[in-house]
Each structure stands twice: as C-alpha cells, then as structure tokens.
C-alpha cells in the first residue's frame, strides 16, 4: 500500500473523496482548512490503484499551482492484511514515476558505468580464454548492462524520446567499449582457440533466442513488480557481455569467421532482450498519463515491436543458413 497525501484548496475535498471512493481507498482522512483555505487530505491506496489515483488527482488539481501530492510507502500496517490481499500487493505494478526514476538512475553514461564495463570485459575475456565458467559468471555479476536495456524499453512504452536516446547511447557505449577492449586483448594475448566457453559463443542457435527473451522478460518484470533486479541483471549480462567479448577476441585473433558467429549471437540477443522488455511493458499497461501521450506512445510501441520482430526473423533466417552451412575453421 501507499499513503497518498494531498495539500490542496478546501474546495477540492469532495472531489478527492470521490476519487478515493472510486479507487477503493483503504482509509480517507482530511484536516480542517488552514488560514489559506487549504486542507491536507490523506488516503491509503493499494499499489495497483496508486497510478490511477495519481493520474486523476493531477488532472483535477492541475489548475491549482500551489497544490502538492506526496506518496509514501507503507512498510507496516496493522491489523495485518489477509494472505490473498498480500499476494495481490506483491503482484501489483509500481507507479510510473517510480519506474522512470529507477531506470533513469541506472542508465546513465558516466565514468562508473564505463569502469564497470571495462572490468567485467577483462574478467569475461580471461574466463572465456581459460574456459573457466566461474570467472565468466563473475564478469556478468559486474556488468551493468541491465539499466540501459530497461530504460530503452520503458522509454518506448512512455513515448519518451530523450530516455530512449540516452539509453541507446549508454548501451551502445557499453557494448562498444567491451568489443574494443576485447579486440585489444585478442590481439595481444597469444591463446589457442580450444575453450568450449569461447567456441560456444561463436555458434549461435535458436535456443539462444529463448535465453535472451527470457532474460529481457524477467528484467522488465523485476522492475514493474518491484522485485530485486541483481540476479536478473546477471541474466541480461549472460546474453550480452560474453558474445561481445567473444566477438572482440576473435577479431583481435584474426578469426573473422568465428567472429561473425559471435556478432550474430550478440545481435540476436540484443533484439530478443529489448523485444521482451517492450512486450512486458505493453502487457503490464505501462503508459503515459495524458490521453494524447498514450495514443502517441501506443503507436510508437506497436511500430517498434513490429520492427524488432521483423529484425529477429531476419536474424533467425541468418542463423538457420549458418547452421546448415560449411563449418568454419578454428585457425586462420
């Protein structure tokens, strides 16, 4: 549940009470008007109704520049809710403002992000070359690739071009930094291409789509339901970091045939993760507040989904052609 507190003109009391009743507020209280004829209104609202309440209140109070709306989380409520109600709360979608703030914070292109990408790429490259699964997993724990993917999907759902642009720049910078560093490692490090972990990322299969799709869907669900995203971030890194590092290592080693396989796997995973995020946000009803923004975002979302699906189909054809083609040599 959330405690929604409204400071507005006393004349808005009846309207706020009607809003609370419409959205089944658990509790509703108001104070006497102060000297400025303003009242403080408090209502306890379930998580799945918070967004609708905020949208309605903002529409009603838009003509009152001095009005304020505050939302507070409720950690404890006594007497305790029934198990059925607790399950409903656990499944509820967080308010749009919370989603936006969370993804915006985790999708910034700054020094910390680039340092984490650099460290994770070095660790991943070592793990891939040495065929050490534990080291590869450790690299994926470090990789901060979840944020920009979620931000791009949410930006599409909300029709926010600035968020989409920033997220795309952050993701592109992270992947590019990983590839360039891997190319340098592959050029300097004289290793034999015998690691199964390395070769696995040069042979894209259709099951790779399922892995990346599940990762993207889990990431979006973790955000919209408020679940911890640490392990989900590892899942997204599984789909993006090792293929990017493998591509760079193969290019640096001069094995362009194997590099093309890793590049194809990376492209499939990027498309699948983002398509899954968009579908989850669409199904969860994440959208802008005003009706004209909703219409614009809906058209954009459908267009992007169609584009991602067509791109994925082309990549599936490329994988199928590669699978039945002539095996690539392991050495130049």
CA distance 237 to 146: 7
Is residue 332 domain-resident? no
Clarify whether residues 83 and 104 are in a common domain. Answer: no
Is residue 108 domain-resident? yes
What integer pLDDT is reported at residue 305 of this predicted model?
85
Clarify whether residues 58 and 115 are in a common domain. Answer: no
Clarify whether residues 54 and 101 are in a common domain. Answer: no
Residue 146 contacts residue 236 (beta carbons within 8 Å): yes
pLDDT band at 290 (very low <50, low <70, confident <90, very high): low
Is residue 246 domain-resident? yes
pLDDT higher than threshold 50 for residue 313: yes
pLDDT higher than threshold 50 for residue 326: no
pLDDT higher than threshold 50 for residue 176: yes
Residue 254 contacts residue 183 (beta carbons within 8 Å): no
What integer pLDDT is reported at residue 147 of this predicted model?
81
CA distance 211 to 215: 6
* Domain end position, chosen among 41, 74, 91: 91
CA distance 242 to 109: 21
Q: What is the CATH number for 182?
A: 1.20.1080
Q: What is the CATH number for 14?
A: 3.30.70.120
Reduce the DSSP state of residue 9 to 3 states and report it.
strand
Residue 140 contacts residue 215 (beta carbons within 8 Å): no
pLDDT higher than threshold 50 for residue 125: yes
Clarify whether residues 197 and 112 are in a common domain. Answer: yes
Clarify whether residues 133 and 173 are in a common domain. Answer: yes
Buried b / exposed e along 105-129 (16+ C-beta atoms within 10 A): ebbebeeebeeebbebbbbbbbbbb
Clarify whether residues 271 and 317 are in a common domain. Answer: yes
Mean pLDDT of 236-263: 88
CA distance 189 to 229: 35
CA distance 297 to 288: 7
CA distance 155 to 171: 14
CA distance 96 to 100: 6
Reduce the DSSP state of residue 66 to 3 states and report it.
coil
What integer pLDDT is reported at residue 76 of this predicted model?
79
What integer pLDDT is reported at residue 272 of this predicted model?
87
Strand 38-45 and strand 27-30: pairing? antiparallel
CA distance 213 to 275: 7
Domain that holds residue 276: 96-323
Q: Going by C-beta distance under 8 Å and a sequence separation of 6 or more, which residues neighbour residue 186? A: 125, 248, 249, 250, 251, 252, 253
Rounded to the nearest integer, the mean pLDDT of the chain is 82
- On the 0-12 / 13-18 / 19+ scale of CB atoms within 10 A, 273 is buried
Measured distance between the N- and C-terminal CA atoms of the chain, rounded to whole angstroms: 62
pLDDT band at 331 (very low <50, low <70, confident <90, very high): very low
pLDDT band at 310 (very low <50, low <70, confident <90, very high): very high
Share of the chain above pLDDT 70, in %: 84
pLDDT higher than threshold 50 for residue 93: no
pTM recorded for the entire structure: 0.66
What integer pLDDT is reported at residue 328 of this predicted model?
47
* Domain end position, chosen among 91, 121, 155: 91
* Domain end position, chosen among 91, 111, 144: 91
Share of the chain above pLDDT 90, in %: 24
Per-residue pLDDT tens over the stretch 266-275? 998 888 888 8
What integer pLDDT is reported at residue 83 of this predicted model?
61
Reduce the DSSP state of residue 330 to 3 states and report it.
coil
Residue 251 contacts residue 244 (beta carbons within 8 Å): no
Clarify whether residues 82 and 138 are in a common domain. Answer: no
Name the strands in the sheet holding 2-9, side by side, starting at the edge strand that comes first in the sequence: 27-30, 38-45, 2-9, 68-73
Strand 2-9 and strand 68-73: pairing? antiparallel
- Return contacts of 60-64, CB within 8 angstroms, 24+ apart: 60/12, 60/15, 60/16, 60/19, 61/6, 61/8, 61/12, 64/8, 64/9, 64/12
Per-residue pLDDT tens over the stretch 182-203? 999 999 988 888 888 888 888 8
| Across 48-57, 112-121, 151-160, 168-177, least confident range | 151-160
CA distance 33 to 48: 30
Domains of the chain: total:
2
Per-residue pLDDT tens over the stretch 6-31? 999 999 999 999 999 888 888 899 99
């Amino acid at each position: 549940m959330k405690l929604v507190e409204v400071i507005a003109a006393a004349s808005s009391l009846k309207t706020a009470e009607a809003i609370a009743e419409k959205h089944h507020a658990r509790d509703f209280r108001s104070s006497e008007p102060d000297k400025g004829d303003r009242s403080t209104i408090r209502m306890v609202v379930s998580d799945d109704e918070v967004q609708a309440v905020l949208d309605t209140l903002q529409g009603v109070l838009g003509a009152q520049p001095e009005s304020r709306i505050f939302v507070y989380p409720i950690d404890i409520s006594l007497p305790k809710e029934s198990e059925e109600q607790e399950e409903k709360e656990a499944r509820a979608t967080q308010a749009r403002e919370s989603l936006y703030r969370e993804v915006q914070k985790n999708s910034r292109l700054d020094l910390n992000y680039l340092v984490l990408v650099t460290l994770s790429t070095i660790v991943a490259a070592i793990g891939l070359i040495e065929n050490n699964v534990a080291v590869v997993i450790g690299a994926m724990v470090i990789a901060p690739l979840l944020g920009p993917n979620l931000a791009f999907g949410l930006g599409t759902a909300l029709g926010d071009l600035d968020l989409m642009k920033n997220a795309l720049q952050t993701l592109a910078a992270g992947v590019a930094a990983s590839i360039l560093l891997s190319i340098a490692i592959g050029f300097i490090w004289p290793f034999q291409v015998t690691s199964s972990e390395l070769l696995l990322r040069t042979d894209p299969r259709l099951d790779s789509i399922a892995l990346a799709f599940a990762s993207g869907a889990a990431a979006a669900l973790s955000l919209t339901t408020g679940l911890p995203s640490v392990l989900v971030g590892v899942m997204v890194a599984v789909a993006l970091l090792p293929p990017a590092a493998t591509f760079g290592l193969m290019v640096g080693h001069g094995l362009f045939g194997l590099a093309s396989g890793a590049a194809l796997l990376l492209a499939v995973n990027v498309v699948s993760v983002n398509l899954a995020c968009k579908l989850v946000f669409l199904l969860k009803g994440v959208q802008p507040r005003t009706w004209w923004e909703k219409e614009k975002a809906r058209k954009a979302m459908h267009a992007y989904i169609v584009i991602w699906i067509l791109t994925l189909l082309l990549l599936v054809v490329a994988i199928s052609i590669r699978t039945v083609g002539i095996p690539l040599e392991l050495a130049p």
